[in-house]
Amino acid sequence: MTDSLTRIPLRSYTDEDRYNDEIKKIVQGKTWNFIGFESEIENAGDYSTTEIAEIPVVVLNDAGIIRAYVNRCVHRGSVLCLSEKGNIKQFECVYHGWTFDLAGNLNGVAFERGIKGQGGMPPGFNKEDYRLRELKVENFCGVLFATFDFDTPEIKRYLGPDITAGVRRVLPSKPIVIGRTSQLIRSNWKIYVENNHDSYHASILHSFFTTFKLNRLTQSGGIVINEAGGSHISYSKRQQEADDQVYESEQLRANHDEFGLKDPGALRFIDEFNDQISLQILTFFPLVVFHQISNSLCIRQIIPRGIDRVEIVWWYYGFLDDSDEIKNARLQQINLVGPAGYISMEDGAVGEFVQRNSKHSEGANGLIMMGGDGYESSSSRVTEAAIRGFWKQYYEMMDA
């Protein structure tokens, strides 16, 4: 598999048949997808709507049981819940009035017996045969995940111990949403996912990172990759660099001292987890990213929208017991990462650069050779091992 992990055909980003297979084999296969926060549906009957790769999903609290369904009436396929969130006693389709209880059972069909002995459903019609399509749900530290395949192993087994510990690290208590935004990027979803597995581009592409020393490759840190390959952690510890000459010798675009901030508050780091880690990027195969950048905590929900469009929904969160100091830091540092974040706005641009060339690059490959040809964990972040790990799990699921 060595060559297939170090040379990725650029046609992988433009093949519509492949895209359709990805939705079927990966997104609707034995994988977990982010669907929201427990704190958003705390009361019985509360619901929220979301998407998993363009598939509408409704998440609800059924008297303390968290359920998720494809947001689709079994009658004619209409969307059931039209609002982003709300509270209901039952589902009712606006199209023909079919109703379902919160457990997904069909309990009402308008004019089921017809009118005056005419029309209506046939004699053999049985409402018990028609249920909403339910997804398997797991509540992991107050964050909700769903899978289409009920044989998918529980999240701890799915991620492995190291990545599970990384998720728990940034979810020490029940999270609450403090902000949300989204952006549409004109690239294939895999390009954006690769970018989040790419630990060494940040110190080259993102001038804000290195200029203000939030993240440099010379800082201590490392890469942790799970056994399956597709989920990883990249982390670094904030420190004053004694070896800035490394960056000076490389003459990087980001190595400039003339830049500054009138309000340096966004650069402040409070060591809330008591481990000096100021940056953690954690990918949760295939479509979820957790990030901690200083005190900004966020889940990035990746929604593929065809072969050349991907939407990123940024869910910023904190905790009920946050001090005023931490609350202020989180709110101020939200501006670091997002659609127009000081750090991340370049990511959307370079994804489009790759996509633009991919459709004209028949036979060409992207090279993923930095750090070797494997996908092992490493104390160095000058590597593309995590990208190779993503492709390893990708190929295994696509060829299964």
Q: Is the pLDDT of residue 263 over 90?
A: no
Question: What are the Cα distances from residue 53, in Å, to 139, 171, 306?
Answer: 20, 25, 9
Q: Is the pLDDT of residue 239 over 90?
A: no
Q: How confident is the model at residue 155 (pLDDT cuts 50, 70, 90)?
A: very high
Residues facing residue 69 across a β-bridge: 58, 134
Rounded percentage of the chain residues whose pLDDT exceeds 90: 76
Q: Classify burial at 388, counting beta carbons within 10 Å of its beta carbon; exposed 0-12, middle 13-18, buried 19 or more.
A: buried
Alpha-carbon distance of 359 to 376, in angstroms, equals 31
Q: Classify burial at 20, counting beta carbons within 10 Å of its beta carbon; exposed 0-12, middle 13-18, buried 19 or more.
A: exposed
Token pair recorded at residue 316: 């910023």
pLDDT per position as a tens digit, 187-231: 999 999 999 999 887 767 666 666 666 655 556 789 999 999 999
pLDDT of residue 210: 65
pLDDT of residue 199: 84
pTM: 0.91
pLDDT per position as a tens digit, 286-319: 999 999 999 999 999 999 999 999 999 999 999 9
Q: Confirm if 175 and 312 have CB atoms less than 8 A apart.
A: no
Alpha-carbon distance of 346 to 344, in angstroms, equals 5
pLDDT of residue 257: 56
In this predicted structure, which of 32-46, 163-177, 229-243, 369-383 has the lowest mean pLDDT?
A: 229-243
pLDDT of residue 212: 64
Decide which of 144 and 207 is more confident.
144
Domains plus CATH for the chain? 33-138 (2.102.10.10), 160-399 (3.90.380.10)
Q: Confirm if 298 and 315 have CB atoms less than 8 A apart.
A: yes
